[in-house]
Structure 1
């Protein structure tokens, strides 16, 4: 029994020490750079905003806040100990889940808005008003806050020998309370939006298949956007929620084999950065949302300082002036 325990205890700890810092570092760098660029484009290049633009900006802000909290987690897993106050630990764990469920709701709003544009084109102008986008974003922030606030009372730090550890949500006690709350989050925060997104995709795909304008670029873009959102729900969010429920369930059983407990925890650890990879897909969503973002992004990549453009164009102006003087003579 002692040999079995020694063989299985290092799996999840190794993932925490090597896998999580690497994945979180990638998410941090891409999330900070990509979302700062996206927010800048929306603020500078893409005014006036429609409702979808307002939702996209708020989605980018949520991802930016999440990426900003990554350095603390990276240091935590590299050093193997938590050096900050317990309040900071609560904030970091809160930030992860607040971004997660905020992103889920923002993506759900985008799917519903695209559904209205495709299936109810007469109402499209009304849905695209700024007021609808502002109301939707305000509702998302408030609902996300209500969903995640109870977590602040559950997440804590724990002493392990001579070091302090910032526990992830599914590793906190009491296990039964955390398990019930985790299931509530899964049903209301993930499964219900998944049903809405899937229903929107089915309706949009059916309409584009039989509709008289199935070749319109706006409608095709709407289907691509909904497909991308559905991919995010399945690839990023689904593994995390399934494995988190399994992790919580094994903790409520009390006595389980070491291999089962550590194996489930290792799979759960692998799924946590996958949920954060929704930031990558969100960056791709901005380009699918409209041609104006693509043009603005390309213009930003091709931007040159004004003095460079002046220095390049000045010889041409001087040559033209000399040619005119010659003709006058």
Structure 2
């Protein structure tokens, strides 16, 4: 079922530059989709082929890569929509695409929080590190993350709608749907899906920093890697997720009433559109986590690449030998 356009000044003031909608969004989503797909698929292959048996950290990393991979796979539908300006795939596909977008986005948030919690447990309580690293712990943590993400995002299926504008159909993003339905659900999603994991991440890494600061081996490579891991995770939360959640709340607030000026509403909507691909850039910034996680990912990746090159050279040498002229 499609809904008619909101016939109010809020909707008229929310129009954004067509260059953002038809060029910026598809270009950004296209790059994120291609790089995110290739990078995270390669990460899964490396973990599956070169880094067995898995510990709890490996299990979480594989699930994080899976979430980012599924996120990347949902983006081509949005790229097509923003290029053409017409959604022709039906309302169910619209809802499912937006659902996948947010499901894997918030799944990534929770997996990053799990990484922080497990690392804190291993660093701050070294006597329990062996138990923390058990694969079973990682499996249960990942099952909990997928279940919580599903519970958080499932209500979105009843919120997302399509809209007719002239002879076109639009697949509305989450914040552009009926504002009274989106307002409280959006705040609940922000609190439980973003702010709570952000608090967990900040607390864990503050405690990790304090523990490493009192450690005699604070300058060892493993300690330096832990500091870099902290920086990467905080960059993802603050640089990617924070602007999106702030501007999404402002976008919904601008649609709820007429107290804002038309120019301010346009500015908010433009900034919100710009922030949406930024949230997807976590698929980029998550990739350095694989090399910083302490699973010897970099060595395993190099080994896999050189193995493929060696096999390729052997297959090239065999036909060359067979083609040599026979001497009598």
Provide the TM-score with structure 2 as the length reference: 0.89
2:176 equivalent among 171, 196, 219: 171
In structure 2, list runs of 5 or more residues that go unmatched: 1-9, 319-328
Q: Which structure shows the bigger proportion of residues in helix conformation?
A: 1
Task: In structure 1, list runs of 5 or more residues that go unmatched.
Answer: 314-329
**Paired residues, number:** 309
Shift of 1:10: 5.7
C-alpha distance in structure 2 between counterparts of 1:38 and 1:9, whole Å: 40
Map 1:295-314; keep pairs closer than 5 Å: 295-302=299-306, 303-306=308-311, 308-309=313-314
Q: Deviations over 1:139-161 (max 9, x none)?
A: 00000000001100000100001
Distance 2:203 2:234 in 1: 10
Deviation string for 1:223-250 (max 9, x for gaps)?
A: 3212211110000000000000100111
Matching residue of 2:325:
none
Residue in structure 1 matching 2:89, options 81, 84, 109? 84
* Alignment counterpart, residue 53 of structure 1, candidates 30, 36, 58: 58
Q: Pairwise mapping of residues 257-296 of structure 1 onto structure 2 (< 5 A)?
A: 257-290=261-294, 292-296=296-300
Distance 2:93 2:268 in 1: 27
How many Å apart are 1:200 and its aligned residue?
A: 1.1
The CA deviation string for residues 11-48 of structure 1, in whole angstroms up to 9 with x for no partner, is: 34331111100000100110111111111111111100
Larger Cα-atom Rg: 1
Question: 1:11 — aligned with what?
Answer: 16
Answer yes or no: is 1:195 the counterpart of 2:199.
Answer: yes
Matched, 1:42 2:47: yes
Conserved? CA contact 2:121–2:128, under 8 Å: yes
Q: TM-score, normalised by structure 1?
A: 0.89
d(CA) in 2 for partners of 1:205, 1:219: 10
User: Post-superposition, which runs of at least 4 consecutive aligned residues in structure 1 deviate over 6 A?
Assistant: 310-313
How much is the aligned-residue C-alpha RMSD, in angstroms?
Answer: 2.1
Separation of aligned partners in 2, 1:30 and 1:157: 29
Partner of 2:222 in structure 1?
A: 218
Q: What does residue 185 of structure 1 align with?
A: 189
Q: Contact between 2:13 and 2:265, CA under 8 Å: does it hold in 1?
A: no
